[in-house]
Amino acid sequence: MTGIGTELLGVVAVGVGMAALLYALLHAARKAGLTLAPWLLPAGIGLSMVAYSVWNDYAWYPRAVDRLPQGAEVLLVGRDSQPWAPWTYLAPVEVRFAALDPAQIVQESDGTRRVPIMLVERRGQTVLVPQDFDCAGGRVRPARGDWTPAAEGDPAFAAVCPRQSEADHG
């Protein structure tokens, strides 16, 4: 199970665990002679499920980066705000990123370099997109695309061609 199914299972597990804990605490409070509001059990369960969901949204990116191969570099991070989570308008949540593993850079016979760029998306499959770099010519070629000049500050070009990037922009 992956993606949203795992997240839903986690939310339900947190709810069941909190229900058991709160039920035991409320039962102990009643045994001690305290009268507590009947809405505390469902409110506590709901609050714990929402809190877990928010934590899981913000903890996804660091967990995903930790699973990258050692030495891999994050190139770009995509953040998003969602209407069903209004707090994300104040602190957008990371939902996607691009990364590359320098150990995967292959020097081709024509002097270019090829490396798979990892496109990682929350609730989506990771896609590996091969990209070619002409370090001497300052050009890049996406998969099945044409050569184009490397954009100023292109993080992938800077990672694959560090000396050329420094010479052009340093």
Measured CA to CA, the distance from residue 107 to residue 126 in angstroms comes to 24
Other C-beta atoms closer than 10 Å to the C-beta of 154 total 19
CA distance 95 to 77: 8
Per-residue pLDDT at 111: 86
State how far the Cα of 52 lies from the Cα of 58, in Å rounded to an integer. 10
Quick one: pLDDT at residue 14?
96
Predicted confidence at residue 99, as pLDDT, reads: 97
Q: What is the dihedral of CA 164, 165, 166, 168, to 10 degrees?
A: 80
Taking CA atoms, 127 is separated from 26, 63, 122, 124, in Å, by 49, 18, 12, 9
pTM, two decimal places: 0.80
H/E element, 77 = strand 73-80
CA distances from 170 to 23, 139, 152, 156, 167 (A): 64, 17, 11, 16, 5
pLDDT for res 132: 95
User: Which pLDDT tens digits describe the chain residue by residue (170 residues)?
Assistant: 567 788 889 999 999 999 999 999 999 999 999 988 989 999 999 999 999 999 999 999 999 999 999 999 999 999 999 898 888 999 999 999 999 999 999 999 998 999 999 999 988 889 999 999 999 999 999 888 999 999 999 999 999 998 765 555 54
